[in-house]
Structure 1
Amino acid sequence: MTDQDFGTYAAALFLLIGSGFVFVGAVGLLKFNDPMTRVHAPTKVGTVGIGMLLLGSMVYSNSLGSTSIHELLIMAFLFVTAPISAHFIAKVNIHRRACETPPSPPRDETWSTLNSPEADQKNENLKVGQS
């Protein structure tokens, strides 16, 4: 088996895996009811699927002897912009009240800090004292 045959088989495998991921993302987009859950299907699964399709294209072009950076640039752009677009879609749904509002954070000085509540510190001291 030559290197070109191996590259062709590897590219076919990447294309099959990528197609499977894209299919699962499309089914998830159609099946989920809530707009917030619909965001996950195309951004998580679709990104990996498109990445695998582009990887298959890169492997195949490399096996033919021509290297191409275009697919790598597309993957980098996709992996950077997909989470940002998902975040914006989620924020729009929250502001339009099209979904359940997330719970508000607790009102104490330990929220979003490295400080732990006193009750947790007492439990830690008891655990240390028992060992």
Structure 2
Amino acid sequence: MGTGAGALMPAIRRAAPNAMILGVDRSDGMLRLARQKHLGSLALMDVQNLALAANRFDAAVVAFVLFHVPRPERCLSEVNRVLKPAGTVGTVTWGAERVPMANAVWDEELEAAGARVLELPATDNRACCD
């Protein structure tokens, strides 16, 4: 979700070479750039109102999008809806050192929604929750 120009798609393809990958973004211009990478299917839609069937995906990556939508909780609710039971969602935001107050709010909202926020070592630039 929030595919943008497809910067993360090569890494996702390497991690899951046989997976069906669907990149979603609300910007047709970004999807045109992502299409040049030829790494999966792409769809133009709003992450707050996904035109996708429920319980369809094993995993979702929400990359650098939560702070761009007016209702991030709606985005996460939609992602949860399209995930299969016990599916996994990974979120990517700016590092804690850049926006510590925002990260505190995100952690609180994620935990209130039932997510378990995983703390990773400071030397690791990845973050995820399940």
Same fold? TM cut 0.5: no
Q: Which has the higher contact order (CA 8 A, sep 6+)?
A: 1
**Larger strand fraction of residues:** 2
**Larger helix fraction of residues:** 1
